[in-house]
Structure 1
Amino acid sequence: MNHSNKLLAIKLAHTLIWIFFVVVIFYVVYSGITGIINIYTWLGIGFVIGEGIVLLLFKMFCPLTVLARKYSDSQKDNFDIFLPNWLAKHNKLIFTTIFLIGLALVVIQTFFKF
């Protein structure tokens, strides 16, 4: 497999994993809004926290981004994922904020039932 095909495979995998985490984050928000908190909510919270730990271990880079660097010299924020550049650039800030809102809602629903 040549470099461009390897980069394409990484971009595809990275995008699919990103979609998974976006769905999980919005499920956490949904759970917090509706009060429907179940094992999937807690698993989702665990997955996102786990992803945060991985990012911390890799100095705030996804391991797939580190791997993709071997196959590209691009300075664009979206060189390793199929996202618009602006979203790739602000991805962590946007989705961390959404997740923290969802997490706060889940905690409120869990401990302060309204």
Structure 2
Amino acid sequence: MNESSKLKVIKWIHTLIWLFFVVLIFYILYSGIKNKITLFTWIAIAFIVGEGLVLLIFKMFCPLTIWARKYSDSQKDNFDIYLPNWLAKYNKIIFTTIFLIGLVLVLIRYF
């Protein structure tokens, strides 16, 4: 497999994992808005906190970004994922904000 093909595989994996976490974040927000807090809500929160810890360990980079860097010298924010460049650039800010809003709503409604 050549470098271009390896990068494409990484980009697809990264995009699918990103989508999984985005679905979890919006589920947490939905749970908080609708006051439908279930075991799955807490599992989703645990997954997102776990992802946050991974990012902290890797100095705010996804391990897949580090891996993809071996196959590209692109300076674009979306070189490692199939997202628009603006979304890749502001991804952490946008989805951390949505997660925190959802988390606060869940905690307020639960307690």
**Same fold flag (TM > 0.5):** yes
> What is the CA distance between 1:21 and its match in structure 2?
0.4
Cα displacement string for residues 53-87 of structure 1 (whole angstroms, at most 9, x for unaligned residues):
00000000000000000000000000000000000
Give TM-score, length-normalised by structure 2. 0.99
Aligned residue type for 2:74: S
Q: Which residue of 1 aligns with 2:73?
A: 73
CA drift at 1:12: 0.1
Q: How does 1:32-71 map to 2 (within 5 A)?
A: 32-71=32-71
Q: Give deviations 1:82-102, integer Å, cap 9, x for gaps.
A: 000000000000000000000
Consecutive aligned runs of 4 or more in structure 1 exceeding 6 Å deviation: none
Question: Over aligned residue pairs, what C-alpha RMSD do you find?
Answer: 0.3
Local SS of the residue matching 1:71: coil
The number of aligned residues is: 111
Task: Give, in whole Å, the separation in 2 of the partners of 1:81 and 1:95.
Answer: 16
Give SS of 1:74's match.
Answer: coil
Counterpart of 1:20 in structure 2 is 20
**Kindly, what percent of the aligned residue pairs are identical?**
71
1:40 deviation in Å? Answer: 0.5
Deviation at 1:32, TM superposition (A): 0.2
* C-alpha displacement of 1:105: 0.2
SS, match of residue 37 in structure 1 = coil
TM-score (norm. length: structure 1) = 0.97
Unaligned ranges ≥5, structure 1: none
Q: Name the structure 2 match of 1:8.
A: 8
Q: Quote the residue 1:84 is aligned against.
A: 84
Amino acid at match of 1:33: I
